[in-house]
Structure 1
Amino acid sequence: MRWATLFTTTEDISAANAKEFIEASPQTSFQLVDVRQPKEYLEQHIPGAILLPLNELRDRINELRHDLPTIVYCRSGVRSKAGCQLLQDNSFTEVLNLQGGILKWNGATAFGGEDFGLDFFLQGTYANGFEFAYHLEKGLQQFYLLLSKNASSEKVAELLLKMAKIEDGHMAALIAQSKNAGMEINISTHNSEIVEGGLSLERLHSAFGDNLKDAKSVVQLAMMFESQSWDLYSRLARKSQDSDDRNFYYKIAGEERKHLDKLTAELDDLL
């Protein structure tokens, strides 16, 4: 599809076309704006979305880039339509309204604050972004490995080990990138903290309950974590003042999005 032709006027874009556009586009090439209220955003939002409630949009409009195609959404498409008009009145020329809002969205979602789910794994402070990302991936790997030891079936165990292997690749890439940047990742100290700090099956079951009962539930839970990771790295990129750090976080966000795609394919096979 020729995406540029969609942004000639303030028009609606279907949830299916929006999902296809987001999946086909680098995250730095567009912006996604959520004009709902903070409580709505915490309950559910599209990963990478910028929260700018409609009543604050005019005053905070400079937080957005005028030169990027912009998709605006709300709950059902009414508030976002008004948001699109406001953006156009302020010289935004490439604006689309998500038709039907998040109610019609059939792609990945994130919920809670930027650390929801992920704070279960992250402890302590980190010297740099590479170290932060490394230990996030390490925590997820520990999660998968611990669950694989008590999996309900061989198929579930194999799936969990496969997920852990993917995280291994992410960590290797982060170590290589940190060396290129002249930085170091403290591996041993935090690795001990994660295990000794209580990353046990009892804590996992207490935190996530019935989400661990079968292969489909495990994949869905993993998809939740990957969506949260994608969303978190996107937020970190937007908040970063350093262009190299910003590009780094966007790259990691893209990797998490690819990982989510793989998990989605796994889920399709299980359904």
Structure 2
Amino acid sequence: MVVLKSASELATMREAGRVVAQTLQAVSEAARPGATLLELDDLAREMLAEKGAKSSFLHYHPSFAPMPYPAVLCLSVNDAIVHGIPDKRRLEPGDLLSIDFGAHIDGYHGDSAVTIGIGEIDEAAQRLSDACRQALDAGIAAAVAGNHLGDISHAVQTVCRAARYGIPTGYGGHGVGTAMHEDPHLPNEGRPGRGLPLRPGLVLAIEPMVVESGSDRHRLQRDGWTVSTVDGSRAAHWEHTIAVTDDGPVILTAL
């Protein structure tokens, strides 16, 4: 069921979104060569406590997963697309790191992701991340009242396919509210003018993911959470939680 949010609910979601944005900024700045993924997760936990917010990810247990998620960040390095579990791995110069984070305040969630380079990265990695972010921007621009879900999906798809990158099959965005994942599902490919009409109060996480090799295939690693490319090529992931309003899309997870 799709639930439209009131002005007061959107205000609370904006508070949660600001915590998400501030935490992503701090973690991005701390993600330097030599830092471990667990150290970054500890930093995010500290910020949650400082801001009086709670994690959307910790202990989250969807039906597909063999165990509840054990961290507050998803940290996906190089060939990991999404849902990478933080561990003792140390970041190395040239790594491509996707940071996904969610927080809630008074039960209302915000969800966002960025992809950053560790130290200096090669031009191909930068192009990959830039294209993914451009796909996100295009999706947000299409999130206008009167459009349809398919318009957002098609905008994301157009940018990704023009750059000849893969779009992992079955993965995409989602509604956000009193649960981190609500209806509707938002594919990263679609036909314009199709799907649910966009109405003011609809809140969506728009989250393109791209694979450098152009393959749409993916595999689930043995931890039951981390989704990786099948060919070892790199991936990027960008995401914002946005609200559809009468005045256009509003990014709830912006600084």
Higher strand share: 2
The structure whose RCO (Cα within 8 Å, separation 6+) is larger is: 2
Q: Where is the helix percentage greater, Structure 1 or Structure 2?
A: 1
TM-score, reference length from structure 1: 0.29
| Bigger Rg, which one | 1
TM-score (norm 2): 0.30
